[in-house]
C-alpha cells in the first residue's frame, strides 16, 4: 500500500489504509482464540445461511467491538487532522451504533450507512473473520468449506469478492481465484466466466493505458496498470477486476484494487456495475437503499 501511494493521486488515502492495515495486523496477532461451532453446526450454518461462517445470519462474536476500539486507539496517534476526525468520532460511539453499522455494511445496505466510518468498521470485522476462517480450517480441515459447485460468493463467509487473481507458480499457475472482501479466503472460478451471473457469453476486458513515458515511473507504479483489467459481462451488466500475478508477482488484491480505482470509474461510466466490494473504500449516495 505504501509503495503504491508514491506519486499516486490517492496517496493520502492509500497511506491511511496502510496505517489501518498495520493496526489490523496487531489486532490479528493479539486476538484471543475464538469459540468455534462444531462441524455439525458449521454444516447447518451452510445449509441455513449459505456459508459455514456466514457474515449474515450467524451471530457475530461481540468481541469484534473491542477489536475496533483497540484499532482506533492504535491508529489515532498516526493520523493527521482530516483522517483523524472519523476515528475520534467513531471512538465515542456506542455498541449499538457499531452493531447497526456492521449489519448495514455486511448486508450491503447503504441507507443509513456511515460511509466515513465504514472502512474502519469493515477493518475490524475483517480481523475477526480472518481469524474465524483460519482457525476453523486449522481445526477441522479446509474440507469444511467445500461445496458442490463454485459460485460468486465466498464459500467460507458468503461475502462478495473484491477482485479475482490469476496465480503463478506450481500447479495453480494460470488459475483464477476470487478473493473474499471479508475473510480473505480465495476460491477457484474458471476464467472467462462472469463472477456475478456465472455466464460465459458476452465477456470482454477493459484496461487502462499507461499515459506518458514508462521510464518516468517505477516498476511498482507501472505494475497496477499493466496487471489489472476489468472483466465485463454484457448480458448481466456487471464487472469484476482481474489481477495478473504474471505481470506483477507482488500485487495485493485489496491494495491494487484501491490503486486502480480510475478503471472502476471508467467502466462504471460505460454502464457496468461492480460485482465486487472493497470494504476499505465504499462510495455512493448514503440515501440509496
282 occurs within a structural domain: no
CATH number at residue 256: 3.90.1670.10
Q: Give the CA dihedral 60, 1, 89, 103, nearest 10 degrees.
A: -30
pLDDT at 225: 66
279 occurs within a structural domain: no
For 209, other C-beta atoms within 10 Å of its C-beta total: 5
| DSSP per residue, 10-26 | THHHHHHHHHHHHHHHH
- Domain boundary, last residue among 113, 145, 177: 145
Query: Looking at residue 29, what DSSP letter applies?
Result: H
Q: What is the pTM of this model?
A: 0.91
- Domain boundary, last residue among 118, 145, 172: 145
pLDDT at 287: 43
HSE (side-chain half, CA atoms, 13 Å) at 84? 8
pLDDT at 216: 46
- Domain boundary, last residue among 89, 121, 145: 145
244 occurs within a structural domain: yes
d(CA 179, CA 164): 6
The total number of residues written for the chain in this structure: 289
168 occurs within a structural domain: yes
289 occurs within a structural domain: no
Average pLDDT of the residues of the chain:
90
Identify which of 106, 132, 101 has the alpha carbon closest to the alpha carbon of residue 117.
Answer: 101
Structural domain containing residue 72: 2-145
Q: Identify whether residues 177 and 127 lie together within a single domain.
A: no
Q: Identify whether residues 74 and 171 lie together within a single domain.
A: no
Q: Identify whether residues 141 and 11 lie together within a single domain.
A: yes
138 occurs within a structural domain: yes
Q: Identify whether residues 91 and 223 lie together within a single domain.
A: no
pLDDT at 118: 96
284 occurs within a structural domain: no
Strand stretches in the chain, DSSP E? 161-166, 176-180, 186-188, 203-206, 228-233, 238-244, 273-274
Q: For residue 135, which phi and psi values (nearest 5 degrees)?
A: -70, -35
Q: Identify whether residues 52 and 87 lie together within a single domain.
A: yes
pLDDT at 170: 85
- pLDDT tens digit at each of 289 positions of the chain: 999 999 899 999 999 999 999 999 999 999 888 889 999 999 999 999 999 999 998 889 999 999 999 999 999 998 876 778 889 999 999 999 999 999 999 999 989 999 999 999 999 999 999 999 999 999 999 899 988 788 999 999 999 999 999 999 888 899 999 999 999 999 999 999 999 999 999 999 999 876 544 444 555 554 556 799 999 999 999 999 999 999 999 999 999 999 999 999 999 999 999 999 999 998 755 444 4
155 occurs within a structural domain: no
Amino acid at each position: 500500500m505504501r509503495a503504491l501511494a508514491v506519486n499516486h493521486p490517492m496517496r493520502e488515502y492509500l497511506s491511511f489504509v496502510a496505517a489501518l492495515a498495520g493496526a489490523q495486523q496487531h489486532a490479528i496477532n493479539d486476538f484471543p482464540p475464538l469459540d468455534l461451532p462444531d462441524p455439525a453446526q458449521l454444516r447447518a450454518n451452510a445449509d441455513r445461511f449459505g456459508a459455514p461462517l456466514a457474515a449474515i445470519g450467524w451471530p457475530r462474536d461481540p468481541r469484534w467491538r473491542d477489536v475496533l476500539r483497540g484499532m482506533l486507539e492504535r491508529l489515532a496517534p498516526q493520523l493527521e487532522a482530516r483522517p483523524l476526525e472519523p476515528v475520534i468520532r467513531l471512538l465515542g460511539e456506542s455498541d449499538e451504533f457499531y452493531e447497526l453499522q456492521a449489519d448495514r455494511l455486511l448486508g450491503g445496505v447503504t441507507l443509513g450507512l456511515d460511509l466515513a466510518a465504514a472502512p474502519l468498521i469493515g477493518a475490524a470485522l475483517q480481523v475477526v473473520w480472518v481469524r474465524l476462517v483460519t482457525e476453523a480450517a486449522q481445526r477441522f480441515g479446509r474440507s469444511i468449506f467445500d461445496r458442490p459447485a463454485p459460485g460468486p460468493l465466498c464459500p467460507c463467509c458468503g461475502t462478495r469478492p473484491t477482485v479475482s487473481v490469476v496465480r503463478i507458480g506450481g500447479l495453480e499457475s494460470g488459475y483464477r481465484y476470487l478473493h473474499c472482501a471479508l475473510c480473505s479466503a480465495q476460491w477457484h472460478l474458471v476464467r472467462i466466466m462472469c463472477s456475478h451471473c456465472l455466464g460465459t457469453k458476452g465477456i470482454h476486458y477493459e484496461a487502462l493505458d499507461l499515459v506518458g513515458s514508462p521510464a518516468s515511473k517505477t516498476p511498482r507504479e507501472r505494475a497496477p496498470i499493466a496487471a489489472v483489467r476489468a472483466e465485463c459481462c454484457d448480458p448481466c451488466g456487471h464487472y469484476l477486476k482481474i489481477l495478473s500475478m504474471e505481470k506483477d508477482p507482488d500485487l495485493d488484491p485489496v491494495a491494487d484494487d484501491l490503486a486502480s480505482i480510475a478503471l472502476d470509474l471508467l467502466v462504471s461510466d460505460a454502464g457496468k456495475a461492480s460485482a465486487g466490494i472493497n470494504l476499505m473504500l465504499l462510495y455512493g449516495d448514503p440515501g440509496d437503499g
